[in-house]
Amino acid sequence: MKKILIVGGGMGGTILANNLARRLRRELDKGDVKITMLSASDQHMYQPGLLYVAFGKAMPDELYRDQASLLEPGIEFHVDPVESFHLDNNQVATVSGKTYDYDYIAIATGSQAKPDNIPGLLEHGHHVYTEEAALKTWEALSSFEGGNVAIVTGVPHKCPMVPLEITFMMHDYFKDRGILDQVSFKYTYPIGRLHSLVNVGKWAEKEFDRLGIEYETLFNPKEVDGDSRQVHSEEGSTLDYDLLIAIPPHKGMDTIESNELGTSGWIPTDRATLNVEGHDNAFVLGDTTNLPISKAGSTAHYEAEVLGENIAAQVKHGRRVRDYDGKVFCFIEAGKDRATFASFNYTTPPDPQPPTETVHWFKLAYNQLYWNSVRGLL
């Protein structure tokens, strides 16, 4: 029997498990293959939905499903996170004290927001990367009566469109509340343009100029002084705020770092095969990789599809099918009722088109279609 172990029950791990279960259905039913998933939670959250929670446009309970209900029949699922990885022995040990051995392992443990890595940010900033934080942001936005809104971005972070999206959405939110003329926006970004993607940055600059949103580039938040309501940057500048919105820096999960699989919890990964470097039967996907591409759900999705094909083919025929080409697709909300998107890979930059209402509605539709996507049906 071939044993496939998937560590992590987020988007990447779940799509991979379901993809493999379909491709290996006959082998699963005959008992020739076993697929096991180990996760830290019995719940699955649609993380991009938290952005909408911050504006009162979604309630947190809409964003959860039972993880077991999302998995194909025959996938063995345990809420029992891995405590130690022994890749040289094809084995992991879990928090409950159990040991799992495998023929193939895929690690998809994800990342975590670390606002506490910037002094003062946890106490004085608002973000949308946990349910609790998104609800607090909603409270802050709904009670804000005007003043300086500062947007700061830590590095690295997941969902690379959030800095722009939350700014555009705040603009329209305060406009609808009738207080836009009492709000001053100051958007900052770590590098020398408004977004990593050159074309997206150019588009955003025109939109910001049109909407009267001020911006400062080469701004990496170093510390927040809550008493004076100021953010100091690594580059030596200072930003005043009455409301501080942050995209916090992220790290991989602690178990990756404590097992010395990768600095800051990012595992060194082959950009084409998605192998853990130095291990032919171990793979990484989603935020957990150290690849120089967006930490985004779509990245995990496309990587999971490649790995699903490759691991299934290896089980059946002893050889893999294709390389991952770096594909990423990101929606970009451009306000309350317009959106565009960026699609790119390792060799082809994106060329986002002007935002439309149609793309916005497709994004809202995707927020529901996600549950089919994660089942591997879309």
Partner 1 sequence: MSETKIVDARGSFCPGPLMELIAAMKEVEVGDEVEVLSTDEGSANDVPEWLEKVGHEMVDNFQEEGVYHIRARKAK
Minimum distance between the CB of residue 245 and partner 1, rounded to whole angstroms?
Answer: 19
Query: Considering the complex, what minimum distance in angstroms separates the CB of residue 107 from partner 1?
Result: 20
Q: Is 115 in the site for partner 1 (CB under 8 A)?
A: no
Q: Is 120 in the site for partner 1 (CB under 8 A)?
A: no
Yes or no: say if 37 and 75 are a contact pair by the CB < 8 Å rule. yes
- Total residues contacting partner 1 by CB under 8 A comes to 32
CA distance 2 to 28: 10
Angle between helices 297-317 and 11-23 (to 10 degrees): 30
Per-residue contact track with partner 1, 173 to 202, x per CB under 8 A? -----------------xxxx-xxxx----
Q: Whose Cβ is closer to partner 1: residue 95's or residue 122's?
A: 122
Judge whether 289 and 266 are in contact, CB under 8 Å: yes
Map the footprint of partner 1 across residues 278-297, applying CB under 8 A.
292-294
**For residue 246, what are the β-bridge partners?**
152
Instruction: Copy the structure tokens of residue 352.
Output: 């986002």
Is there binding between residue 238 and partner 1 (CB under 8 A)? no
Q: In angstroms, what CA-CA distances link 224 with 121, 170, 314?
A: 6, 21, 51
DSSP symbols for 142-179: HH--SEEEEEEE-SS-SSTTHHHHHHHHHHHHHHHTT-
CA 264 to chain CA mean position, Å:
16
Residue type, 361: W
Q: Give the one residue of 65, 136, 177, 271 binding partner 1; rule: CB under 8 A.
A: 271
**Is there binding between residue 326 and partner 1 (CB under 8 A)?**
yes
273 binds partner 1 (CB under 8 A): no
Selected binder of partner 1 within 346, 362, 366, 371 (CB under 8 A): 346
Q: How many residues does the chain have?
A: 378
Q: What is the C-alpha to C-alpha distance for residues 81 and 6, in angstroms, rounded to an integer?
A: 11
Q: Does 97 help bind partner 1 (rule: CB under 8 A)?
A: no
Q: Say if residues 4 and 102 touch (Cβ distance below 8 Å).
A: yes
- The residue (of 176 and 235) whose beta carbon lies closer to partner 1 is 235
Instruction: Out of 42, 123, 145, 234, name the contact with partner 1 by CB under 8 A.
Output: 234
Q: Closer to partner 1 by CB, 154 or 376: give it.
A: 154
Told to check if 108 binds partner 1 by CB under 8 A, we report no
Write out the residues near partner 1 by the rule CB under 8 A: 155-156, 160, 190-193, 195-198, 218, 220, 234-236, 249, 263-264, 271, 292-294, 326, 328, 342, 344-347, 349-350
